[in-house]
Structure 1
Amino acid sequence: MNEHLKGKKVLITGASSGIGQYLAIHVARNGGHPILVARSGNRLELIAKILKEKFDTDCYWYKADLTNGNEWKDVSDIIFYDHDSIDALINNAGMGIFENYCGSKWQDIERMLQVNVHAPLRITHQVLPHFIAQKSGHIINIASQAGKMATPKSAVYSATKHALLGFSNALRMEVEGWGILVTTVNLGPVRTNFFKQADPTGNYETAVEHLMLDANQVANRIVKQLFIPKREINLPTWMDAGSKVHQLFPSVTEKMLRSQFNKK
Structure 2
Amino acid sequence: MAKGKLHGKTIIVTGASAGIGRHMVRECAKQGASTLIIIARSEDKLERLKAELGMQYDEVTVDVYPLDIGNLEALQNTFEAIKWQYSTIDVLINNAGFGIFSLFEEASFLDMKTMLDVNVLGMMAATRMLLPKMRQQGEGHIINVASIAGKMATPKSSVYSATKAAVLGFTNGLRSEVRRQGIKVTAVNPGPIKTNFFKIADPEGNYVKNVERWMVSPESVAEKVVAAIGTNKREINLPFAMHAGAKLYQMFPRTVEKIAGGLLNKK
TM-score grouping bracket, smaller chain normalisation: over 0.9
Q: Deviations over 1:228-256 (max 9, x none)?
A: 11000000111111111111100000111
Which region of structure 1 is more displaced relative to structure 2, 46-55 or 217-226?
46-55
The answer to whether the aligner puts 1:256 opposite 2:252 as a matched pair is no
Q: Deviations over 1:13-55 (max 9, x none)?
A: 0000110000000101111022100011011011112112211
**For residue 50 of structure 1, what is the aligned residue in structure 2?**
52
| Contact 1:4 1:227 (C-alpha < 8 Å) held by counterparts | no
> Out of 41, 44, 49, which is 2:43 matched to?
41
1:236-251 equivalences under 5 Å are 236-251=239-254
| Contact 2:93 2:144 (C-alpha < 8 Å) held by counterparts | yes
**For residue 60 of structure 1, what is the aligned residue in structure 2?**
63
**For residue 15 of structure 1, what is the aligned residue in structure 2?**
16
Q: How many residue pairs end up in the alignment?
A: 264
| Contact 2:5 2:32 (C-alpha < 8 Å) held by counterparts | no
Q: Write the letter of the residue equivalent to 1:252.
A: T
Q: Deviations over 1:161-219 (max 9, x none)?
A: 10110111111111010111000001100001100101111111122122210001110
The answer to whether the aligner puts 1:163 opposite 2:136 as a matched pair is no
Distance 2:81 2:87 in 1: 11
Quote how far apart the aligned CAs of 1:145 are. Answer: 0.4
Secondary structure, aligned partner of 2:61: coil
Which region of structure 1 is more displaced relative to structure 2, 204-213 or 193-202?
204-213
**For residue 217 of structure 2, what is the aligned residue in structure 1?**
214
Quote how far apart the aligned CAs of 1:76 are. Answer: 2.0
TM-score, normalising length: structure 2: 0.96
Quote how far apart the aligned CAs of 1:2 are. Answer: 9.2
Q: Write the letter of the residue equivalent to 2:123.
A: P
**For residue 117 of structure 1, what is the aligned residue in structure 2?**
120
Distance 2:77 2:260 in 1: 45
Q: Write the letter of the residue equivalent to 1:12.
A: V
Which region of structure 1 is more displaced relative to structure 2, 88-97 or 48-57?
48-57
Distance 2:67 2:236 in 1: 27
Q: Write the letter of the residue equivalent to 1:28.
A: A
- Percent identity between the aligned chains? 45
1:67-82 equivalences under 5 Å are 67-82=70-85
Secondary structure, aligned partner of 1:73: helix
**For residue 102 of structure 2, what is the aligned residue in structure 1?**
99
Distance 1:156 1:135 in 2: 36
Q: Deviations over 1:83-141 (max 9, x none)?
A: 22110000001110011111100000000001100011001001111111111100000
1:170-185 equivalences under 5 Å are 170-185=173-188
Distance 2:37 2:116 in 1: 23
TM-score, normalising length: structure 1: 0.97
Q: Write the letter of the residue equivalent to 2:16.
A: A
**For residue 26 of structure 2, what is the aligned residue in structure 1?**
25
Distance 2:5 2:26 in 1: 16
Moved over 4 A (4+): none
Q: CA RMSD in A?
A: 1.3
